[in-house]
Amino acid sequence: MTTPISTPTPSCLAEGNLLKYKWLNWFLRSRWYPGIIQWPTLFLFVVIIYQLFLGPTKAHDNLGTALTWVFWWPVIPIIFLFLGRFWCAICPFATINDLVQGFVGNNRPVPKFLKKYGIWIIDASFIFITWSDHVWGVVSSPVGSGVLLLVLTTAVVTSGSFFERRTFCRHICFLGGLAGNYAQAGMLSLHGTPEICAKCDTAACYNGTENFPGCPVFEFPRVMASSANCVLCGDCLKNCPNGSIQLTVRPPTKELWFVHKPRVEAAFLAAVIMGIVFVQNVTMLEIWASTLAWLESVTGTTSYYVNFTITFIFAIILPVSLLSWASWVAAKSNHSSFKENFTRFGYAIIALDLAAHIAHNLFHMLAEGKSILYTGLALFGVDSHGASAALVSTPTIQALQFGLVGFGFLGSLYILYRITNTYYTGEVVWSTFKPYAVLMGCLGLLNIVLFTLPMSMRM
């Protein structure tokens, strides 16, 4: 195992504590936070569920579908970039978990298998939900979207009934892996001040006090070196008797320049997300129909299950294989193991993942954005059929997509540069950097090509 040359401490990641702003400090410590945002979000969730099951049957006309897939889903990676996992603090599933726990919670410890394999279950459920969206048409069916939300609600209620804190959010939620990866590239970081925490003997941030519960996602700010799990709920800030908690802004991707304990499952998911972005793009292309027809002639079956699953597996295997190839080449010169290379450098894909994901979602937000207004107006009898749902023109969307992918590519290259310089010196730096730079080039180029091709609307 190669040891890192430099190990930055959390305090050296700090750049300006936002809690110096008195109004923000007061708000985050008050009983109003996060409830003042949490409860309206839960109300909106109920409206969405109602609309999905009892509203218009066509996705194009349904406010629940528009709010979920044209607003929430595209906005979520942007929130992770600017505000870390703040969404998870106000997510209706987290609120439902807390409500259920208040009434029937058994508060049992998290099962060992969830602690050990939870992240793999999260990765697998994220892949499964993406696959099922395509084969069962979840997004294009209001009832399908409603069923998905109810299945998740059932899982939350079950988890909240039996297990302590927010076990669902930390160990089960399908968004957890993606949120953790993106929050590490995010610009907001919450952590304790090492010098203050070192003298503390209460650990009130983790254990809680009579006024506020302990960290809902089992984090301990004294040793928390990553933003992957912190949901910025503010409980530790309210509980800490020593004013140790800091909320700082940092350049995007900075946490990825050195990851204290890189995990192979996070690196694997980084590559998988790139494949999922590919498949989301490919299936929206106008040439998807002819590609499918060609695939049908090759496989000899018209089954969409079969032909889409082949495309899906290929799209996911492609970036995982490219990362494996780069790790195999790099391992020959830097003498770290293949797994060490795969795990450390897989994190560098996250910047490109985030950029490509936002770029893809930009299409939904900007080309279909007005559907939120139209479906909302339809509730009051205003008919907007035939009106364009686009907020801006297609060339403008494409220009933004190319710009985002460009930034993501540069971000990934810079993370590579930092990681290689952390672990290696001399010529090994360059020989390690090269194969991964080729990997990022291939992934970036593939994204550019896909965004160049005409896409068709989903709503």
Which residues are 191's β-sheet partners?
Answer: 246
Reported in sequence order, the residue ranges of 350-438 that DSSP labels E, i.e. its strands, are none
| Pairwise CA distance, residues 278 & 32, whole Å | 41
Residue 228 or 256: the one with the smaller Cβ distance to ligand SF4 is 228
By CB under 6 A, the residues from 220 to 239 that bind ligand SF4 are 221-222, 230-236
Binding status of residue 370 toward ligand SF4 by CB under 6 A? no
* Phi (first) and psi of residue 247, to 5 degrees: -125, 110
* Phi (first) and psi of residue 175, to 5 degrees: -80, -10
Residue 235 or 340: the one with the smaller Cβ distance to ligand SF4 is 235
Residue 230 or 259: the one with the smaller Cβ distance to ligand SF4 is 230
Q: What is the CA radius of gyration of the chain?
A: 23
For the CB of residue 437, give the shortest distance to ligand SF4 in the complex, in Å. 35
Binding status of residue 204 toward ligand SF4 by CB under 6 A? yes
For the CB of residue 163, give the shortest distance to ligand SF4 in the complex, in Å. 17
* Phi (first) and psi of residue 84, to 5 degrees: 60, -145
* Stretch touching ligand SF4 by CB under 6 A, among 7-15, 76-84, 218-226, 421-429: 218-226
Residue 235 or 368: the one with the smaller Cβ distance to ligand SF4 is 235
Interface residue with ligand SF4 among 78, 83, 155, 203 (CB under 6 A) is: 203
Reported in sequence order, the residue ranges of 102-261 that DSSP labels E, i.e. its strands, are 188-191, 246-249
For the CB of residue 245, give the shortest distance to ligand SF4 in the complex, in Å. 6
* Stretch touching ligand SF4 by CB under 6 A, among 213-221, 326-334, 356-364, 425-433: 213-221
Interface residue with ligand SF4 among 153, 158, 161, 242 (CB under 6 A) is: 242
> Taking CA 89 as the corner, what is the angle to CA 84 and CA 93, rounded to the nearest 5 degrees?
120
> Taking CA 239 as the corner, what is the angle to CA 236 and CA 241, rounded to the nearest 5 degrees?
115
Length of the chain: 459
| Pairwise CA distance, residues 314 & 438, whole Å | 20
Binding status of residue 197 toward ligand SF4 by CB under 6 A? yes
| Pairwise CA distance, residues 18 & 188, whole Å | 10
For the CB of residue 205, give the shortest distance to ligand SF4 in the complex, in Å. 3
Residue 233 or 362: the one with the smaller Cβ distance to ligand SF4 is 233
The site that binds ligand SF4 (CB under 6 A) totals a number of residues, namely 26
Is the separation of the CB atoms in 127 and 272 below 8 Å?
A: yes
> Taking CA 135 as the corner, what is the angle to CA 129 and CA 140, rounded to the nearest 5 degrees?
85
* Stretch touching ligand SF4 by CB under 6 A, among 14-22, 52-60, 209-217, 354-362: 209-217
Binding status of residue 177 toward ligand SF4 by CB under 6 A? no
Residue 244 or 341: the one with the smaller Cβ distance to ligand SF4 is 244
Q: 3-state class of 234 per DSSP? A: coil
Largest CA distance in the chain: 70
Task: Retrieve residue 183's tokens.
Answer: 């929050």
| Pairwise CA distance, residues 117 & 301, whole Å | 36
Binding status of residue 173 toward ligand SF4 by CB under 6 A? no
* Stretch touching ligand SF4 by CB under 6 A, among 61-69, 191-199, 260-268, 432-440: 191-199
Interface residue with ligand SF4 among 106, 107, 202, 290 (CB under 6 A) is: 202
For the CB of residue 249, give the shortest distance to ligand SF4 in the complex, in Å. 16
Q: 3-state class of 17 per DSSP? A: strand
Is the separation of the CB atoms in 206 and 153 below 8 Å?
A: no
Binding status of residue 244 toward ligand SF4 by CB under 6 A? yes
| Pairwise CA distance, residues 99 & 155, whole Å | 14
Residue 246 or 432: the one with the smaller Cβ distance to ligand SF4 is 246
Interface residue with ligand SF4 among 149, 175, 245, 355 (CB under 6 A) is: 245
Interface residue with ligand SF4 among 55, 64, 160, 192 (CB under 6 A) is: 192
| Pairwise CA distance, residues 227 & 87, whole Å | 13
Binding status of residue 133 toward ligand SF4 by CB under 6 A? no
The continuous run of DSSP H or E covering 185 comes out as helix 176-185
For the CB of residue 177, give the shortest distance to ligand SF4 in the complex, in Å. 17
Binding site for ligand SF4 (CB under 6 A): 190, 192, 196-197, 200, 202-205, 215-217, 219, 221-222, 230-236, 240, 242, 244-245
